Amino acid sequence: MNRRDILAGSIAGVSAAATLAAAGAASAQTAATELRWRMTSSYPASLDAVYGAGEIFIQVLGELSQGRMQIQHFASGEIVGGLQALDAVQNGTVECCDTSPFYYVGKDPAFTFGSAMPFGLTTRQQNSWLFQAGGLNLLNELFGRYNVFGLPIGNTNAQMAGWFRKEIKSVEDLRGLKMRVGGLAGRIVAKLGVVPQQIAAGDIYPALERGAIDAAEWVGPYDDERLGLYKIAPYYYYPGWWEASSTIFLLINKGRWDALTPFDQALMRVAAQDAMTLTIAKYDQLNSVAIRRLVAGGAQLRSFPQDVMDACYKSANEVFAEIGGENEMFKRLHDHLTGFRNEQNLWHQIAEYSYQTFMIRSRKL
């Protein structure tokens, strides 16, 4: 084998760069186009970690384009409400939004896969599904029907199941429980007798305090700490099986995305990846510190009993079958993600989970 053969891989890499250079020169006129967009957020700026994913994206994009591409970020409610973000992008009121796609399960239940399928993937599995297994392409097929193109920009990592005024000792305790829980999770627990409630973040505390609801899920320790719920609903349950990870998406008006040069699209894709890596890293660090403060402040950690987990899992699979029977896109995404999940859990169980088991046990020694 001569040197040229040995270097074939490398030469291919350099050729790609050269091709890109030519493409870059060809698009030099358009590449100089200034971009001034508005991004409406589904989150309040006070939730600085989740809102921060969009902030990082904007900053990095400005940096990569040397200030040529500038996006102004508007908190939830500034232009439109947090749950109207998709509408605003779809109809062109704004060019893009940072949001959790499962806020739109009312439009199409398949949007859940853009954030988290209940009993779905961990953060690393979700990213492998998105970037390596074709998940992102499938999602963009869905998003395209709503005139938007999606780039993942972060993940909250595994969430908690929320705050409960009373302990849940068996599946019987779910009957009649009024709980703030949305999306497909609400539909899943409704089968077990929970009465799901839709309540905005700012109204959760008073609703729990006056007994209008018995429980409320929000995000994880760092974000939950802001709401102060441990004072009135001290039982802090896990795991949050409806969001074992939760992807934060940038959704861009499709016409606007398609009109970008390939170069500008590449800058956006790479800025999104940077926001993804940094947001995941940030949430892990912030949550580990916040959980200690919450427990010191009175939060009482509780895991769901096995029968509750089993009943929820069974109920979830029933709901998936019901929706999948009438929604082809939902079924395609569900089957794709579930097949991937089962293979991933087989592998993760061997090398990483067994390691974590040892380390968690050793920590207690």
By C-beta, is 207 or 316 nearer to a copy of itself? 316
Residues 228-257 that bind a copy of itself (CB under 8 A): 238-241, 244
Task: State both tokens at 41.
Answer: 């957020």
**Interacting residue with a copy of itself among 200, 259, 289, 321 (CB under 8 A):** 289
State which of residues 47, 50, 60, 89 lies at the interface with a copy of itself (CB under 8 A).
60
Token pair recorded at residue 118: 């209940």
Which one among 91, 206, 321, 358 touches a copy of itself, defined by CB under 8 A?
A: 358
CB of 90 to a copy of itself, least distance (A): 22
Instruction: Out of 292, 293, 297, 325, point to the residue binding a copy of itself (CB under 8 A).
Output: 292
Residues 65-94 contacting a copy of itself, CB under 8 A: 66-68, 70, 72-75, 78
CA 25/CA 10 separation, integer angstroms: 23
Please identify, using beta-carbon distances, which residue of 31 and 192 lies nearer to a copy of itself. 31
User: Of 171, 271, 299, 329, which lies in the binding site for a copy of itself, with binding defined by CB under 8 A?
Assistant: 271
Alpha helices in the chain (DSSP H): 3-6, 8-26, 28-31, 48-64, 85-90, 112-115, 123-131, 135-144, 183-190, 201-209, 221-227, 254-259, 262-296, 306-324, 328-348, 354-364
Cα–Cα distances in angstroms (integers) from residue 36 to residues 58, 60, 213, 269, in the given order: 11, 15, 43, 17
What distance in Å separates the CA atoms of residue 183 and residue 102, rounded to the nearest whole number?
A: 7
Alpha carbon separation from 307 to 121, 178, 218, 311, 315 (Å, rounded) = 21, 20, 23, 6, 12
> For residues 91 and 277, which CB has a smaller minimum distance to a copy of itself in the complex?
277
Q: Does 37 bind a copy of itself (CB under 8 A)?
A: no
User: Which amino acid makes up residue 56?
Assistant: I
- State the amino acid at position 339 in one-letter form: G
Which is closer to a copy of itself, CB of 147 or CB of 345?
Answer: 345
**Backbone dihedral angles phi then psi of residue 221, each to the nearest 5 degrees:** -50, -50
* Residues 313-352 contacting a copy of itself, CB under 8 A: 313, 341-352
Q: Using CB under 8 A, which of 100, 246, 287, 315 touches a copy of itself?
A: 287
Query: Which range touches a copy of itself (CB under 8 A), out of 94-102, 117-125, 246-254, 319-327?
Result: 117-125
Shortest spacing between CB 356 and a copy of itself, in angstroms: 6
**Binding segment (CB under 8 A) for a copy of itself, from list 53-61, 191-199, 224-232, 322-330:** 53-61
Contact positions with a copy of itself (CB under 8 A) in 169-228: 220-221
**Residue from 226, 273, 332, 336 that binds a copy of itself (CB under 8 A)?**
273
Q: Tell me the C-alpha distance between 270 and 153, whole Å.
A: 10
Q: Is the peptide bond before 221 cis (omega within 30 degrees of 0)?
A: no
How many residues bind a copy of itself (CB under 8 A)? The answer is 105
Instruction: Go through 272-286 and write b for each residue having 16 or more CB atoms within 10 A of its CB, e for each that does not.
Output: bbbbbebbbebbeeb
The continuous run of DSSP H or E covering 154 comes out as strand 148-155
122 binds a copy of itself (CB under 8 A): yes
- For the CB of residue 112, give the shortest distance to a copy of itself in the complex, in Å: 17
**Among residue numbers 293 through 312, which ones bind a copy of itself (CB under 8 A)?**
301, 303, 309
Give Cβ neighbours of residue 212 (< 8 Å, ≥ 6 apart): 178, 206
C-alpha–C-alpha distance, residues 256 and 36, integer Å: 11
Determine which residue in the list 195, 232, 266, 327 makes contact with a copy of itself, applying CB under 8 A.
266
Provide the residue type at 23 as one letter.
Answer: A
Query: Does 33 contact a copy of itself by CB under 8 A?
Result: no
